[in-house]
Structure 1
Amino acid sequence: MHDSRKGLRTRAAVLGSGVALACRVGLGGITIGGLAEEAGLSKSGMYAHFGSKLALQLAVLDAAAEEFEAFVVLPALQAPRGEARVRTLVDRWLECGRTRQPGGSLFVK
């Protein structure tokens, strides 16, 4: 059980690094080797976690979407309906693009 928790933590850390890298170089710029170097892992370790470049890119996109949902969408849904909700959505979206990652957000440039 300990090994699987460690593996999940490693995967989460790699995906965090992947989101940050994708914000700087674009999703298409994410490679197994590039992210392995960024995250301090071997290429074989990256393949063990993701299996392919495409699977890695999709996992990074999913992680970015989860971050975006948590930072932008969910707070907006907590605001009262109508103008307040739209304002919260726009404000959080713009803040996400300015402050969340160097290079902005995958969804806000």
Structure 2
Amino acid sequence: MSSIDVSIVNNVVAVMIDNRYSGFSDIPKELNGCDESVFIEAVSDSIKAAVTDAKEKMRPKNGETYYVPHPFSKSMYSSQEWAGDSIDRRVEERGLMFKTKEEAIEAAKKMLEVVK
């Protein structure tokens, strides 16, 4: 992950990861007006839950296709089916997994710009 944006509106925590994946979690309303440290802990827990929600949306389901930038190929991308193996997890950890081929192509173009 390169960036996480957090907002809280009306007791709902919203996070946006890498400007692509969003997650949400409620802060229990009964905590309004309670001890400050209890409320802060509840907000922290809600942020963690919202990040988890967003991360779950990022990862493909078994057999689902994802796209990887390949700046050296003619198409500038390749597609893979998620199996959850070490290669899939490495691609995910390195931020090279995309839901669309257009996103993978854009990433490949950015890679080429770095080396020019």
TM-score by length of 1: 0.34
In our comparison, the structure showing a higher alpha carbon Rg is: 2
Larger RCO, structures 1/2 (Cα 8 Å, 6+ apart): 1
TM-score by length of 2: 0.33
Q: Which has the larger share of helix?
A: 1
